[in-house]
Chains A and B, each alone.
Chain A
Amino acid sequence: MRPLPALILAGLLAALASAPGAALVARGLGLEGAPFDTARLLALAAQHLLLVLGGAGPAILLGIAAGLWVTRPSGAGRALRPVADAGAAAAQAIPPVVVVALAFPALGFGAAPTLLALALYALMPVLRATIAAVEATPPDAVLAARAMGMTEGQALWRVVLPLAWPAMLPGVRTAVLLAAATAAVGSLAGAATLGTPIILGLQTMNELLILQGAAATAALAFLCDAALGGVAARLTGGQGAAIQAGGDRT
């Protein structure tokens, strides 16, 4: 997907989240209450983004590493594939808000429970995409790599990864999008996120704050998605098509 539609959406939502935009909507809907300050919202957005990167980043690296490990042709990892798959599915199945609530007593107030929740939530898309991408590499190319005398590491770096990574990118993108949309729950445990105005709005019965928080969170999620989409399009740039055409020659 080209990033343009996501960028337009992000722009519209950001305009809606800003104080003047929200005030305009409030007048139109007849809502009462003061809008959240734009400068504070931007500061929260920056902290939100840091949480996303801090939570999803390690999960992405771990997901890729685990995905590669369980798909290696030899070694212990292969036997652990069902375990890794089930573990990642379980991590995805627990709602992040539950993770935050459960981790709160152990990890305390602040960013830590949110980082854990985001990491767990982001793991599965990356792991699944990595496994699927590695398994979709043309088997004859992998066999040829072995037959030419590449060691397992050489075959991984020179043949498997270059062929697999275009198919791994969508998993990474999904993970970041999920994390960006989910990080707002962190405000329940006292983390500074775009969920903060939502909580504030719920406590003070100010619907305008809820609207602003929700719009800003969505805007940031779309922005992340558009950015990664752009990176993917630039990196792959037509190479993906050539690989697909070459992969199924018989």
Chain B
Amino acid sequence: MIEFDDVSVRFGAAEAVRGVSVAIPPGALAVLVGPSGSGKTTLLRLVNRMATPSAGQVRVRGEDVALADPARLRRSVGYVMQSMGLFPHWSVARNIGTVPALLGWPQPRIAARVEELLALVRLDPALAQRRPAALSGGQAQRVGLARALAADPDILLMDEPFGAVDPIVRRELRAELTRIHAATGKTILLVTHDPIEALELATHLIVLREGQLVAAGEAAALAAPPAAPFLRALFGPEALALRRLSLLRVGDAALDGPAPDAAPEIAPEASLAEAWILMQERGAPVLAVGARHLPWSALLPR
């Protein structure tokens, strides 16, 4: 879906991205994570030609972006930025309808799509005629997300999308994004400097440092021990351990044989993290999973 093939980006004397090769499969929620200055945003902007590689090739849907018309490419890829970049002189509805209007959709179709999107991002339809200045940070961010999704692009680029909102709204928006990703199956490439956010959202992780690829792959595989020292330092051992547990399912780890009578019940679809929390809360070393059981030792990596 999105492929970087030995890509480098040079700004003057500095090299922001150095020889990065990585592929993002369709439907992934891939998170680009790394310290500031690691080239995350630059790598993201290569996808819709907001940045140009000095060497290597970027392919989107199998086609080299260097050969694509920039305006058409950008209209086919959703883009959300940290500062939102809503147009202050347009209403919320017109902001959301930006790309459909550029694509020449008829007005009634745009209006219907705007209504649909307000519902998708759970915004009050009464806000449609407001100016962005009248919105809260969280609302503005939802409008930014709706605008990016307006023309139903199969790829969504998100540059620190939750950077400008407070922690509670941030949590809400993350849950919303996970929900929208699951509901729409879009390929999402998201940049964050927050390792916890990366671990929470990612199906795929791409870790960068000083413009170079440190690690890339499925989140569960990268979180599994033994983690590389840089990953341990970046994510913290607790976050890695908990993330591994939240990616594994109880049904896959349960052992045959019934649990003791007093053992609390847990569903096989629950994550090991939920099992761990239940054990902590109930002081139970073993949980019942239907006719099978889950001892605490089953939480350990095998």
B48 sits at the interface (CB 8 A): yes
Chain A residues 145 to 178 lying within 8 A of chain B, measured CB to CB, are 145-151, 154, 158-159, 162-163
Contact B81 A140 (CB under 8 A): yes
Which residues on the A side are within 8 Å of B75 (C-beta)?
148-149
Which residues on the B side are within 8 Å of A149 (C-beta)?
70-76, 99, 102
Contact B89 A243 (CB under 8 A): yes
Given contacts A138-B88, A140-B84, A249-B84, contact A148 B147 (CB under 8 A): yes
Tell me, in angstroms, the Cα distance from A153 to B295 when the chains sit together: 65
Given contacts A147-B48, A149-B73, A249-B132, contact A163 B88 (CB under 8 A): yes
Which residues on the A side are within 8 Å of B133 (C-beta)?
242-243, 245-246, 249
Count, A-B residue pairs, CB within 8 A: 77
Which residues on the B side are within 8 Å of A143 (C-beta)?
81, 85
A-B contact pairs, 16 of them (CB 8 A): A140-B81, A141-B87, A141-B88, A144-B79, A145-B87, A146-B50, A147-B79, A148-B74, A149-B76, A242-B131, A243-B88, A246-B86, A246-B131, A249-B84, A249-B137, A250-B164
Which residues on the B side are within 8 Å of A239 (C-beta)?
89
Chain A residues 105 to 156 lying within 8 A of chain B, measured CB to CB, are 138, 140-141, 143-151, 154
Tell me, in angstroms, the Cα distance from A126 to B133 when the chains sit together: 29
Contact A141 B99 (CB under 8 A): no
B21 sits at the interface (CB 8 A): no
B58 sits at the interface (CB 8 A): no
B191 sits at the interface (CB 8 A): no
B203 sits at the interface (CB 8 A): no
Tell me, in angstroms, the Cα distance from A246 to B86 when the chains sit together: 9
User: 8 closest A-B pairs (Cβ-Cβ)?
Assistant: A144-B85, A246-B88, A149-B75, A246-B133, A149-B74, A140-B85, A140-B83, A147-B79
Contact B98 A148 (CB under 8 A): yes
A54 sits at the interface (CB 8 A): no
Known: A141-B85, A249-B133. 15 other contacts (CB 8 A): A140-B85, A141-B88, A147-B48, A147-B79, A147-B81, A147-B85, A148-B79, A148-B102, A149-B71, A163-B88, A239-B89, A242-B89, A249-B84, A249-B137, A250-B83
